[in-house]
């Protein structure tokens, strides 16, 4: 059994080819999609965070809004770039959103990836300390964030406050109990995965990582997960950590699916450079009929190692189409791979959704 969630990058573009033409479209559709994902039995709704781009950038208002409209599904990020974050303000935002959601936040954080602008974090008022790299700064912000989440008082109270204070040093409020154990680190290398284990964070591993052996992506990722778990055990933590991996999986069951993704699943891993001199390996996309997907995914070692699978979605194709993709995976792929019990299939929605998909398909073909 695995937890299944979706991961949206939250793109929008003012284009006839996009169902999300504005930031408002993306935010409102993200809420609708999370509600639908809960209905069909998914376990998580996760969102990527990017600055200076036409993508989702401020996760806490969105997570709070979804938390108010759902009751069960986990709400997370994958990932928040900690180079940009004020840990104190972030603790207050995260605590508030988690309380609204009833303790369902699963926050993925990281030192960040290449961004749209040069040193964008400086525009947010942050810069590395002397002798510190921007990556070091991101990890420092993360360690401060984790410590603040523990809820210890650290601020000296005003002797003449506006409102009465409790005794002792004051902590940040509001505090959400248990959130500290629901912070994940997005690791691109084995070393950063081991660091995440040492400081007690869960592990998020994406559809790419630094190439450390030349082996296939899923093999390297599985080794990363094992190294993380070994480091966790050595650190002496008492709870069981969680591990997620992300995959692009597109079941093909109709002509519209074939038009979008019919040529997307035949390739293998790719190697390239995204961040300076370090070579990265990018995992393949999976696109095929459900029975073929089942056979292909059986051999993915990293999925087998993880307890959570995040399905990257083409959010610009709209809510209806993405629900169709996710329903197909829940019903026709997950049970065959024992990711789900065979008696927990999602109920397919008749009538409205297929016609919406046909409208989308016709619009795309006219462009």
**What pLDDT sits at residue 345?**
59
**What pLDDT sits at residue 16?**
92
DSSP assignment of 152-173: ---BPPPSS-SSPPPSSSB--S
Residues with Cβ within 8 Å of residue 106, at least 6 apart in sequence: 44, 46, 74, 75, 76, 182, 184, 202
**What pLDDT sits at residue 267?**
73
Average pLDDT score over the chain: 91
pTM, full prediction: 0.92
Minimal CA–CA distance to 111: which of 5, 188, 29? 188
**What pLDDT sits at residue 276?**
67
Higher pLDDT, 184 or 364: 184
Q: Is 264 exposed, middle or buried (0-12, 13-18, 19+ CB in 10 A)?
A: middle
Looking at residue 333, what DSSP letter applies?
Answer: I
Higher pLDDT, 233 or 206: 233
Give the pLDDT confidence of 266-307 residue by residue, as tens digits.
678 888 877 667 788 999 999 999 999 999 999 999 999 999
- Residue 188 tokens read as 């691109």
Looking at residue 272, what DSSP letter applies?
Answer: E
Higher pLDDT, 349 or 133: 133
Find out whether 46 and 87 touch, Cβ atoms under 8 Å. no
């Amino acid at each position: 059994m695995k937890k299944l969630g979706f991961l949206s990058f939250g793109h929008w573009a003012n284009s006839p080819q996009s169902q999300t033409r504005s930031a408002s479209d993306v935010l409102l559709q993200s809420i609708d999609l999370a509600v639908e994902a809960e209905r069909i039995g998914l376990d998580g709704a996760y969102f990527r965070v990017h600055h200076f781009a036409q993508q989702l950038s401020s996760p806490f208002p969105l997570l709070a809004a979804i938390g108010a409209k759902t009751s069960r599904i986990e709400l997370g990020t994958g990932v928040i770039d900690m180079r940009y974050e004020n840990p104190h303000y972030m603790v207050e935002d995260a605590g508030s959103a988690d309380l609204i959601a009833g303790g369902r936040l699963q926050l993925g954080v990281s030192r960040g990836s290449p961004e749209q602008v040069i040193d964008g974090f400086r525009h947010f008022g942050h810069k590395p300390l002397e002798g510190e790299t921007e990556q070091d700064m991101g990890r420092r912000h993360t360690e401060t964030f984790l410590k603040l989440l523990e809820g210890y008082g650290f601020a000296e109270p005003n002797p003449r406050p506006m409102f009465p204070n409790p005794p002792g040093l004051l902590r940040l409020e509001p505090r959400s109990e248990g959130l500290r154990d629901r912070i994940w680190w997005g690791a691109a290398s084995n070393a950063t995965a081991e660091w995440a284990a040492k400081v007690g964070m869960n592990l998020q591993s994406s559809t790419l990582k630094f190439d450390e052996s030349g082996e296939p992506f899923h093999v390297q990722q599985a080794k990363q997960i094992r190294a993380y778990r070994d480091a966790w055990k050595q650190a002496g933590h008492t709870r069981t950590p969680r591990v997620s991996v992300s995959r692009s999986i597109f079941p093909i069951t109709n002509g519209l699916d074939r038009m979008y993704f019919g040529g997307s699943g035949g390739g293998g891993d790719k190697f390239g450079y995204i961040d300076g001199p370090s070579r990265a390996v990018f995992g393949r996309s999976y696109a095929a009929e459900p029975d073929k997907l089942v056979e292909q995914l059986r051999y993915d070692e990293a999925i087998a190692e993880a307890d959570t699978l995040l399905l990257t979605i083409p959010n610009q194709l709209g809510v209806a189409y993405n629900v169709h993709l996710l329903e197909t995976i829940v019903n026709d792929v997950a049970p065959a791979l024992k990711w789900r019990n065979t008696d927990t299939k999602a109920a397919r929605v008749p009538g409205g959704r297929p016609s919406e998909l046909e409208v989308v398909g016709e619009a795309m073909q006219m462009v």
